[in-house]
Each structure stands twice: as structure tokens, then as C-alpha cells.
Structure 1
Amino acid sequence: MINECEEHGYYRDDFCPVCGEKGKFVMSDYEVEKMGRTLAAILRHGKFDLEMSPQGFVDMRDIVDTVRGINPRMKWLRPHHIEALALTDPKGRYQVVGHKVRATYGHTVKLDLHLPTDDVPDHLYYPVSPDAEEIIMETGIMPVDRAMVHLSGTYRDAVRAGSVRMDDVAVLDIDTKRCADAGFPIGKAARSVYLCDRVPPECLSLAEEPEDKGDSYRW
């Protein structure tokens, strides 16, 4: 659930993680899950055709009006519920600026996200099935079901991402500087998610599973 501490803001727990006080109730787990799916559909896939800026921002008031209009059971929804959901998302999937919100990754609609390209790691990772490994190494990585290529910050994050849709996962290593020099800069979208238009084959190599399972295996 989401609660709100008067001093430290929104949080997803029973008690404020900073001061330990029990805050004001905002949304139940069920409401968070239901509204989270709707928010992703609007911000990632353009559902309901709401006005969206070239960078993917949508007015939270428009989202509230639309959701309340199609679902009478959501008459309680207000912009601060959208803000609370976005700001407390554990994966950093949303960004709030003023009264507008956007998804940071996962889009199927083409946008100009203007993601930061500073401090991108020298190497990022991408999961593939062993059967597709050879052809991707030859042709490079292109977007498949999303508007941009999604890369992971660690080997383990790539394995976890690939395991959602593959039984066996191989991991490719992306030389990020070489990719940028080839005309495909990479931007940081979330904690361990990076985006680019495509990755040329000369930027790819087969990643080796790290022996040190510290930061590379964080969950």
C-alpha cells in the first residue's frame, strides 16, 4: 500500500522508512496494482489517446478525468494518487515534473525522451536466447516489441529480464562508448535500464558470467 508521511512524503510500507511514524493512507495494494496497469497502458502505449508531449509527459489531471470517466468505481481518484504511485515506484518506471507524469521506459510509441547520457557505464548487457545469439551478433540489436532497445546495467539484471520470456538466457556485452561513437547514444531511463535506438554488431560481444556476485547480482 501507499501511505504519506507529513514530513517525508509518500512511501510504500506500513510505517515511514525515515521516521517510523504511521502515515496517512493513500492507496491499497489492489488499487496500486490496478492503477499501475492503467498508468502503464496510458504512458507506455498511448491508450485512450490522451495528449502526450514529444517527451512522453501526460497531464495527471487528464489521466484522472479519463479513468474516472470510464470506471465509476474510481471516482475517488485524484492527481495526488497518480503522483504517489509514480514517486514510490520501486523500479523508477515514472517521472513526475510539475503536474505531468511520464513512463521512463517500456514504450511502444516513439518518443524523444531526452534521457541523460552522462555517467553511462562502459559496458551494458542484453539478454538473448542461445538460438538467437549468433544472428544478433551478426546483425546487431534492433527494437522488437518496444520503440527502443532496452539494455540492463548489470549481467544479473539482464538474466532476470530475459528469464521473463526465455527458459535459457545468454547475455551480450555492449561497448557503450563504441555504440555512441557509431551514432547511437545510450540514455539512462531508470536504476538499471538504459535505452538506445539500436546497437550495431561491432559493439557486441558475448558476456562472461562475473565471478564476483556482489553488485552485479543485486536484486
Structure 2
Amino acid sequence: MSRHNDVRLSSFMAKILRHSPEKFGLKLDDYGYCGISELAKVIQAQPQWRQITEEDIRHIAAASPKQRYLIKGSQIKARYGHSIPVQQETSAKQVPPFLYHGTYREALEAIKKAGILPMGRQQVHLSESPSFATLAARRRKNPLLLKIDTYSAMQAGAIFRFAGNEVWLSTSLPPSSIIEEIPLK
């Protein structure tokens, strides 16, 4: 498969696993997992993807630069980005003192008033490093990173969960937890 088709297939997998499994007749468990073979059948039902194999799906999951997918045995899930409710697996990993959120300059005024909200997702997405958060921020014009004081956020009631590969998920974050705005060029 070409790089272009890899990106298209990854986007389609994300659509199914994060947002609309029921639209495609796919049943996810409480944590967002489904069988790789069931996902392959759903994808193969689309005319442009008839040739897709379980091995192609495993390749997409392994090659994802943001490690969007997690495979455990014969099961696959999207690690983060859900607009549908899924439970998050617990992790013993300690919440770092600072996390980063990628956004854009035009959203800053609203964020300063209401805080960082999940918007169309179930949870807020944060990164352990500025470089990883930059990937999300650069999808928009006038990208911006926000540095979050996690201790301050937890004192205000925020709950953090590790999703894997530098990605943390949280409930809404108060404006007071933002300790630095970092413009990107």
C-alpha cells in the first residue's frame, strides 16, 4: 500500500473506532476494543477497501506516528480521540508535573474564559512533550502550545489518565492551570 493509502486507511479506521462504530455495524467493548477480523470485514465492505487484510490493519497500527491504535492479541482499539463514550484503562504511571496542549491563537480567548474543554471529544488531549503537542497544534493556522500545571489542575478537580505514547487524557482543565502560552512559527 502507498503512503497516501496508509494515511487514508488510518483516517478511516479512526472514524470507525473513535466516532461511529455503530454506523458500520461494529460493536466495541467498554474499553473501545473490537476484533481485528471484525474491523477488517467492516473496512472490506467499502468498495475502495475490498482488498484490505488484517495484516494491513496491523501495519497501519504499528506505523502510526502518533500511535493512535493499540493491539492486544486479536483485538484493536483507538487509544484516544473518541467522541463516543469508552472507558479508559488504568495505568500506574505518575502524572508528570507539566503537560502540553496544542491549540491555535483564535481559540485562546475562549480558553482563558472557560478553560480547556473536550469539545467534540470525550476528554481533553495532552502530551508529555512540546514536540508531540506541536503535531496537534500545527493542524491549524496560528498554532499555539499551552503548558499545563497538572498539580494545579488536579487541585481544581481535573482527572488525568495515561493513554499511551506520551498522550494523556483529562477532564476539562481550568484556565488557572495554564502557566505558559508558547506561540509556534
**Which of the five TM-score ranges fits, normalised by the shorter chain?**
0.7 to 0.9
* CA drift at 1:177: 2.5
After TM superposition, the score normalised by the length of structure 1 is 0.70
Answer with 1 or 2: which has the greater Rg: 1
Amino acid across the alignment from 1:175:
D
| Aligned with residue 203 of structure 1, among 174, 177, 181 | 177
* CA drift at 1:185: 2.2
Q: How does 1:4-23 map to 2 (within 5 A)?
A: none
Identity %: 28
CA–CA separation in structure 2 for the residues paired with 1:165 and 1:120: 27
1:163 aligns with 2:143: no
Partner of 2:63: 88
CA–CA separation in structure 2 for the residues paired with 1:53 and 1:126: 28
After TM superposition, the score normalised by the length of structure 2 is 0.82
Q: Structure 2 unaligned runs (5+)?
A: none
Answer with 131-140 or 44-53: which moved more: 131-140
1:63 aligns with 2:42: no
Asked if structure 1 preserves the Cα contact closer than 8 Å seen for 2:103 and 2:136, the reply is no
Asked if structure 2 preserves the Cα contact closer than 8 Å seen for 1:93 and 1:105, the reply is yes
Asked if structure 1 preserves the Cα contact closer than 8 Å seen for 2:90 and 2:161, the reply is yes
Q: Deviations over 1:106-140 (max 9, x none)?
A: 22212112253613321012234444434423321
Q: How does 1:3-82 map to 2 (within 5 A)?
A: 27-47=1-21, 48-71=24-47, 74-82=49-57
Q: Deviations over 1:143-201 (max 9, x none)?
A: 113221111222343344222112x2343221112323433222222433221121123
Q: How does 1:156-195 map to 2 (within 5 A)?
A: 156-166=131-141, 168-195=142-169
1:111 aligns with 2:65: no
Amino acid across the alignment from 2:20:
G
Asked if structure 1 preserves the Cα contact closer than 8 Å seen for 2:25 and 2:42, the reply is no
Relative to structure 1, the CA distance from residue 28 to residue 171 in structure 2 (aligned partners, 3 Å threshold; closer, same or farther) is closer
Amino acid across the alignment from 1:57:
Y
Question: Cα RMSD (Å) of the superposition?
Answer: 2.5
Amino acid across the alignment from 2:58:
E
* CA drift at 1:91: 1.7
Asked if structure 2 preserves the Cα contact closer than 8 Å seen for 1:120 and 1:186, the reply is yes
Question: Structure with the greater relative contact order (CA < 8 A, sep ≥ 6): 1 or 2?
Answer: 2
CA–CA separation in structure 2 for the residues paired with 1:127 and 1:28: 29
CA–CA separation in structure 2 for the residues paired with 1:198 and 1:87: 30
CA–CA separation in structure 2 for the residues paired with 1:160 and 1:67: 27
Asked if structure 2 preserves the Cα contact closer than 8 Å seen for 1:57 and 1:101, the reply is yes
CA–CA separation in structure 1 for the residues paired with 2:95 and 2:119: 23
Asked if structure 2 preserves the Cα contact closer than 8 Å seen for 1:91 and 1:190, the reply is no
